[in-house]
Amino acid sequence: MNNLPAWIPNINAWLSSFLVILLSRGLAYVFQLVYLLLNYFLPFSLREKLIVYSLFLLSPIVLIAVVHHGLHYILDRFFPNTRSLEIGKVEGFFPGLISWWEGLFGWQALAIATLISGSLFAFFLPPEIKSLDNLWDWWVVIKPFLTVMTLIQLIVIAYLYQFESLLRNYLISIGSRDR
């Protein structure tokens, strides 16, 4: 699998892409329920709605960082020979710098993939769609996982993770060469 050309995403990029989309879908569903419950029991002013919405938008960073940290903690514990060099041994319950980077990168990859897939979908907009509200239904409600928008997002995120992996390997090779 390592003999693939650099322009084809490796299995780690595809797996990361799939997990980011899966986490975002689950998070969107949970946030929709939480928002509806909070809005029902505690009516929000416009300022409070903007604050809650901003926190909801930024929360995937924290979720991805915590999941990344927990996954590597479990892998270090049960499969110590799978440890990557740049992460080192994972200790404690608070995510480290690499986990926060993965959270930020996953959030950025999801945002870029959403913009690209939405732009492509709008460019090739089917004539039967009369309202732009129909374009974003896939984000608000959990729908079948394999939609055209999701497949475009999956591919874009996989290529972004492949790019990040190539850049990381390049920086590691430069660092090891300079020593």
Q: Is the pLDDT of residue 150 over 50?
A: yes
What's the structural domain count of the chain? 1
Compute how many other C-beta atoms are within 10 angstroms of the C-beta atom of residue 94: 10
Query: Does 3 map to a domain?
Result: no
> Cα–chain-centroid distance for residue 24?
7
Q: Which residue has the higher pLDDT, 60 or 134?
A: 60
Query: Does 6 map to a domain?
Result: no
**pTM exceeds cut of 0.75:** no
Q: How far apart are CA 112 and CA 105, in angstroms?
A: 10
Q: Tens digits of per-residue pLDDT, 56-90?
A: 888 888 888 888 888 888 887 787 776 666 666 76
Please name the amino acid found at residue 140.
V
pLDDT at 68: 84
Please name the amino acid found at residue 20.
V
Eight-class DSSP state of 178:
H
Structural domain boundaries, residue 18: 11-125+135-178
Query: Does 43 map to a domain?
Result: yes
